Amino acid sequence: MPDTPPRLLAFAGSLREASFNRRLIPVLAEGAEAAGATVTLVELRDFPLPVYDGDIEAAGMPGNVRRLQALLGEHDGLLVSTPEYNGSMPALVKNTLDWISRPLEDGRSGTTLFAGKVAGIVSASPGPLGGLRSLLVLRDALAKLGLLVVPQQVAVGLAADRLPARGVLEDARMRESVHAVGAAVAAWARGVGRAA
């Protein structure tokens, strides 16, 4: 069987310019790429969506939902770096997942875009725990959508010190751990996770 590189869709769950999670997601992508994956990194600010409202959906699915559904359909897995808001994932992340899960143009459920795919999750926060609680909630939400979420995960605390710029994680051990999350997703997406 040819070993085609797994394609992974990556995003950070924050819109702000100086976001620590926007700085961290390229590090996760780097780990996946080093393990042979192809990563498409998107910015959610390029896909602005209203808060989910069934009336908006009934009036016509927003174009950005269709764009995100199409993108996910072209990929084998997800990489997400999420902030923690009040002990949970931000509304932005949940709202994005909820919109994507809505019916496709051909009538199939949007959840079919997630089912059986692989995800890797990390978080970053200026606090000491790094947003760890958001990972528990996000893991659960992604599993509910049918994704296999790899067991490895990293919460980068004290992010103001550790993430000075985009793609730069200064703590070497933590950088290795984030790379390992990406590598595990690449391995599982190729169906060889148990050998990773």
DSSP 44-75: GGGS--PSP-HHHHHH---HHHHHHHHHHHT-
CB 57 to ligand FMN: min, Å? 26
- Looking at beta carbons only, is 6 or 13 nearer to ligand FMN? 13
Beta-sheet strands, E only, within the chain: 7-12, 38-41, 77-82, 118-124, 148-156
**Site membership for ligand FMN, residue 41 (CB under 6 A):** no
**Site membership for ligand FMN, residue 114 (CB under 6 A):** no
Among 3, 17, 55, 86, binds ligand FMN (CB under 6 A): 86
**Site membership for ligand FMN, residue 85 (CB under 6 A):** yes
Among 8, 9, 11, 19, binds ligand FMN (CB under 6 A): 19
Among 6, 31, 77, 131, binds ligand FMN (CB under 6 A): 131
In 3-state terms, what secondary structure has residue 33? helix
Among 83, 110, 120, 182, binds ligand FMN (CB under 6 A): 83
**Site membership for ligand FMN, residue 96 (CB under 6 A):** no
In 3-state terms, what secondary structure has residue 155? strand
**Site membership for ligand FMN, residue 26 (CB under 6 A):** no
Among 14, 69, 96, 177, binds ligand FMN (CB under 6 A): 14
- Looking at beta carbons only, is 101 or 125 nearer to ligand FMN? 125
HSE, side-chain direction, 13 A CA sphere, residue 51: 2
Q: Phi first, then psi: give them for residue 31, nearest 5 degrees.
A: -65, -40
What CA–CA distances, in Å, run from 56 to 23, 40, 47, 90? Answer: 33, 28, 16, 21
Q: Which residues in this chain contact ligand FMN in the complex, by CB under 6 A?
A: 14, 16, 19-21, 83-87, 124-127, 129, 131
